[in-house]
Amino acid sequence: MLLPKSARVINPAAVKAARGKFCQVCGKYQESGLHVHHIKTRGSGGGDTPDNLVRLCYECHGRVHAGTLKIETVVVRELPGVEEVLQVFTDYRELTESGQWGQAAALVVLKSGLRMTAKQISADTGLSPAMIREMIRTYSAFHDESTRVPDLSFYHHRLASRAENPIEWIQKAADNDWSTRQLNEAMKMAGAVSAKARKEKLMAKAEKVFRMADEVFTEGGEPSEWLYSNLTKLLALAKAS
């Protein structure tokens, strides 16, 4: 994978610290205890200069001193800097975010335009019916791109779409710099989750329980008998209430 180059240096000290945690020969990550080895020994006139120093894990350092590893013949590995890796992460995250909106739009077309059921779409996409409903609801709530907050994740928008007034809640999340956990808690505290969203959540749980029960009954045996017995009791209690 080619790493995109970035002119930004967020934290040079962090870059240096991160690079210092990997063996430059085998690439092994080691939180602490890396050894700094002189390629040309001090006794031979080797100095403490970057081109004469190499960071080695315990195993590689031992091999060098045992004579089974010639450090001079090894292509020393230099890891990309932290700022470069963060840029890769950001690039792929942005790609993933836009991808989710694109997938959600496609699901809307499949369901509303082509009249496919969530079960049919699930069979073709591998997404659960619950996730399909969530993504369609999210896109429907924020179909106008101007209502979305680019700095917030698709999951932020998914949570906000559960409210009666999703645009108001996504803006609150942006104004308060809320994480998804904080947004979820704030919505619960305010009782903002709509009746439809609560019903969908319960339906998702019911579908999951059904799939698990079906798996147990298909397998048979003692677990199946236990589940059948307890479900029978539960159904009797439900009818009585």
| E strand spans, the chain | 35-38, 53-56
pLDDT score, position 189: 92
Using the predicted structure, report yes or no on whether residue 222 has a pLDDT greater than 60. Answer: yes
pLDDT band at 91 (very low <50, low <70, confident <90, very high): low
pLDDT tens sequence across 177-191: 999 999 999 999 999
pLDDT score, position 211: 83
Mean pLDDT of the region 186-214: 83
Helix, coil or strand: residue 161: coil
pLDDT band at 58 (very low <50, low <70, confident <90, very high): confident
**Rounded alpha-carbon distances, angstroms, from residue 87 to 222, 233, 236:** 53, 56, 58
Residue 55: CB atoms within 10 A of its CB come to 20
Mean pLDDT of the region 2-15: 43
Q: State pTM to two decimals.
A: 0.52
Classify the phi-psi angles of 65: left when phi > 0, otherwise alpha if psi is within -120 to 50, otherwise beta.
alpha
pLDDT score, position 204: 76
pLDDT tens sequence across 101-155: 988 999 988 888 888 888 889 888 888 888 898 999 999 999 999 999 999 999 9
**Residue of 62, 79, 75 lying closest to 22 (CA atoms):** 79
Helix, coil or strand: residue 28: coil
pLDDT band at 32 (very low <50, low <70, confident <90, very high): low
pLDDT band at 10 (very low <50, low <70, confident <90, very high): very low
